[in-house]
A and B are shown apart, each in its own frame.
Chain A
Amino acid sequence: MVNNMLLEIKNLHAGINGREILKGINLSVNKGEIHAIMGPNGSGKSTLSSVLVGHPAFKVTEGTVLYQGKNLLELSPEDRSREGIFLSFQYPVEIPGVSMVNFMRAAVNEHRKYNNLEPVSATDFLKLMREKRAIVDMDSKLTGRSVNEGFSGGEKKRNEIFQMVMLEPKLAILDETDSGLDIDALRIVANGVNSLRTPQNTTLVITHYQRLLDYIKPDVVHVLYKGRIIKTGGPELAIELEKKGYDWLKTEAGE
Chain B
Amino acid sequence: MQDSNKIIDEVTTNDYKYGFVTDVDTETIHKGLDEKIVRIISAKKKEPEWLLEFRLKAYRHWLTMETPAWAHLTIPPINYQDIIYYAAPRRKKGPKKLDEVDPELLKTFDKLGISLQEQKQLVGMAVDAVMDSVSVKTTFKDVLAEKGIIFSSFSEAVQHHPDLIRKYLGTVVGYRDNFFAALNSAVFSDGSFVYIPKGVRCPMELSTYFRINAKNTGQFERTLLVADDESYVSYLEGCTAPMRDENQLHAAIVEIIAKEQAEVKYSTVQNWYPGDKEGKGGIYNFVTKRGLCKGKGSKISWTQVETGSAITWKYPSCILAGDDSTGEFYSVAVTNNHQQADTGTKMIHLGKNTRSRIVSKGISAGCSQNSYRGLVKVSPRAEGARNHSQCDSLLLSSTCGAHTFPYAEIQNETAIIEHEATTSKISEEQLFYCNQRGISTEEAVGLIVNGYAKEVMNKLPMEFAVEAQKLLSISLEGNVG
Contacts and interface: CB of A to CB of B under 8 A. Distances in A.
Given A97-B448, A98-B447, A102-B451, A107 B429 contact: no
B438 A93 contact: no
Nearest to B426: A95
Contacts of B467: none
Given A97-B448, A98-B451, A103-B447, A78 B440 contact: yes
B457 to A, nearest CB: 11
Interface string B426-440: 011110111111111
A77 B428 CA distance: 13
Contacts, number: 77
B118 to A, nearest CB: 32
Given A53-B436, A78-B438, A81-B438, A106 B447 contact: yes
Interface in B341-376: none
A93 B435 contact: no
B438 A167 contact: yes
Contact of B432 (A77, A86, A99, A114): A77
Interface in B426-466: 427-430, 432-441, 443, 447-448, 450-452, 454
A56 interface: yes
A110 B429 CA distance: 19
B49 interface: no
Contacts of A54: 435
A82 B438 contact: yes
A237 B377 CA distance: 72
Given A97-B451, A98-B448, A106-B447, A114 B433 contact: no
A96 B433 CA distance: 13
B436 A77 contact: yes
Residue from the set B427, B437, B441, B454 with the largest chain A CB neighbour count within 10 Å: B437
A146 B447 CA distance: 11
Interface size class of A (residues with CB under 8 A): 20 to 34
Residue from the set B427, B435, B440, B450 with the largest chain A CB neighbour count within 10 Å: B435
A144 interface: no
Contact of A106 (B424, B429, B432, B443): B443
Contacts of B451: 95-99, 102, 146
A78 B3 contact: no
Contact of B428 (A56, A80, A89): A56
Interface size class of B (residues with CB under 8 A): 20 to 34
Nearest to B428: A56
Interface in B389-407: none
Residue from the set A92, A93, A163 with the largest chain B CB neighbour count within 10 Å: A93
A252 B182 CA distance: 88
A172 B135 CA distance: 61
A111 interface: yes
Contacts of B3: 56
A4 interface: no
A78 B434 CA distance: 8
A106 B432 CA distance: 15
A78 B439 CA distance: 6
Contact of A103 (B428, B437, B454): B437
A70 interface: no
Nearest to A102: B447
Given A97-B448, A97-B454, A167 B435 contact: no
Interface in A133-169: 146-147, 163, 167
Interface of chain A: mostly helix, strand, loop or mixed: mixed
Contacts of B432: 55-56, 77
Contacts of A80: 436
Contact of B443 (A76, A110, A147): A110
A146 B454 CA distance: 12
Nearest to B453: A97
Contacts of B443: 106, 110
A150 B316 CA distance: 35
B447 A77 contact: no
Contacts of A82: 438
Nearest to B437: A107
Contacts of A221: none
Residue from the set A80, A82, A147 with the largest chain B CB neighbour count within 10 Å: A147
Contacts of A98: 447-448, 451
Nearest to B427: A93
A87 interface: yes
Nearest to B443: A106
Contacts of B438: 78, 81-82, 107, 110-111, 114, 167
Given A93-B429, A93-B430, A107 B439 contact: yes
A106 B439 contact: yes
A54 B437 CA distance: 12
A53 B452 CA distance: 27
A92 B434 CA distance: 11
Nearest to A95: B430
A93 to B, nearest CB: 5
Contacts of A76: 435
Contacts of A96: 424, 451-452
Interface string B411-432: 0000000000000100111101
A103 B429 CA distance: 15
A32 B339 CA distance: 54
Contacts of A81: 435-438
Nearest to B455: A97
A87 B454 CA distance: 29
Interface in A78-134: 78, 80-82, 86-87, 89, 92-93, 95-99, 102-103, 106-107, 110-111, 114
Interface of A: 53-56, 76-78, 80-82, 86-87, 89, 92-93, 95-99, 102-103, 106-107, 110-111, 114, 146-147, 163, 167
7 pairs of A and B residues whose beta carbons are closest in the complex: A97-B451, A81-B438, A77-B435, A107-B437, A98-B451, A110-B438, A93-B429
Interface of B: 3-4, 424, 427-430, 432-441, 443, 447-448, 450-452, 454
22 contacts: A54-B435, A56-B3, A76-B435, A77-B435, A78-B436, A78-B438, A78-B439, A80-B436, A92-B433, A93-B430, A95-B430, A96-B452, A97-B448, A97-B452, A98-B447, A103-B439, A103-B447, A106-B437, A107-B438, A107-B439, A110-B438, A147-B433
